[in-house]
Amino acid sequence: MSASSILYTGKTTTTGGREGRSTSDDGQLDLKLSTPGANLPGTNPEQLFGAGWSACFTGAMRHAARAGKIDFPADTTVSAEIDLGLGADGYFLQARLTVSLPGLDRETAQQLIDAAHQTCPYSKATRGNIDVAITLA
C-alpha cells in the first residue's frame, strides 16, 4: 500500500492498559479505561471496538445506498455487541451487529447490509478472524 492511498491515520496512546487512559494526538479523545464488568468509571476496548465498527458499518451502508440511489433512513441504527471470551486457546472476540433501517423493505435493507459487510474496513479486518453475526432488526 502506498502512502498516497492512506486517507487518514488515527493516532492514540494508551497508558496503564485496561485500567488506564487512552488519548488521541489531536486531543479529541481522552478516555478513562476500566476492565469489562468491573463497574468502575471508564469504558473498555470492547465498547470502543463496537462503537468504531457500528459507525463504520453505518457509513458503508450509506455509501451503498447512495450508489444504488436508495434513500438512506436518517434514523438508521447499528448496535454492536462485542464479546470477550476465554477458550482453550486463550482469549477471543466474537461480535453481533443488529441493524435497523426503518422504512426500507427487508430485501432492500438486506442488500445494503450485505454490501456494507463486503466494504466496511472493520468487517474486512474481522472476516475469517472472529465469529460475526449480522441481523436485520
The reply to whether the predicted model has a pTM over 0.95 is no
pLDDT of residue 2: 60
Phi (first) and psi of residue 34, to 5 degrees: -145, 155
CATH class of 1-43: mainly beta
Residue type, 134: I
Domain boundaries, the chain: 1-43, 45-136
User: CA 11 from chain center: how many Å?
Assistant: 17
The DSSP line for 82-137 is: EEEEEETTEEEEEEEEEEE-TTS-HHHHHHHHHHHHHH-HHHHHHTTTSEEEEEE-
At 9-50, the pLDDT tens digits run 999 999 999 999 999 999 999 999 999 888 899 999 999 999
The domain covering 45-136 belongs, at the CATH homologous superfamily level, to: K homology (KH) domain (3.30.300.20)
Work out the pLDDT band at 4, boundaries 50, 70, 90: confident
